[in-house]
Amino acid sequence: MHELSIAEQILDIATDHTAREGVASVREIELEIGTLSGIEIDALTFALDVVTKNTVLDGTKVTIIDVPAKARCESCGEEFLLEDYFSPCPACGAFQSETLQGQELRVKSLIVDE
């Protein structure tokens, strides 16, 4: 359940930004989560529900933007979408690839009432 620590970090970041902006509640929070980031979305939304009670994120709509995993084959240079870490290159079948994206864990934005 590392999603609980992740949820706490999200709350910290949101709390910092809302304090700076002088707002008391957040209508929506947008998170960018890579498909290979190791986060279980259901567990994360559950954890967020728990940790945000009576905070600036209480009742906030959580929007998850999936970032698809992409890799470049180290053998032939082909760029392809990864379903998991052990997908071979669809062009040449090699397993040696470098991950380009898909491990993101970011708070993208907060949408607040004016």
Partner 1 sequence: MCDTCGCTQPDDAVTIRKAGEEHHHHDHAHDHDHAHDHAHAHDHEGRSIAVETDILQKNNLLAERNRGYFLAKNILALNLVSSPGSGKTSLLERTIRELGGGLPVAVIEGDQQTMNDANRIREAGAPVVQVNTGNGCHLDSDMVLRAVRELQPEENSVLMIENVGNLVCPSLFDLGEARRVVIMSVTEGEDKPLKYPNMFRSSQVCVINKIDLLPHLDYDLEKAKEYALQVNHHLRFIEVSVKSGEGMDAWLTWLRDEVAAAKA
Interacting residues toward partner 1 by CB under 8 A: 1-2, 5-6, 9-15, 17-19, 21-25, 27-28, 31, 36-38, 55-56, 84-86, 88, 95-96, 105-114
Could you tell me if 82 and 99 are in contact, meaning their C-beta atoms sit under 8 angstroms apart? Answer: yes
Residue closer to partner 1 (CB basis): 41 or 107: 107
Cα distance between residue 53 and residue 51, in whole Å: 6
Sheet holding 69-73, edge to edge: 79-82, 69-73, 97-101
Least Å distance, CB 5 to partner 1, is 7
Residue closer to partner 1 (CB basis): 31 or 70: 31
Least Å distance, CB 22 to partner 1, is 7
Least Å distance, CB 40 to partner 1, is 9
Could you tell me if 47 and 4 are in contact, meaning their C-beta atoms sit under 8 angstroms apart? Answer: yes
β pairing state of 69-73 and 79-82: antiparallel
Q: Which residues neighbour 37 within 8 Å (Cβ) at sequence distance 6 or greater?
A: 102, 103, 104, 105
Least Å distance, CB 73 to partner 1, is 11
Residue closer to partner 1 (CB basis): 59 or 95: 95
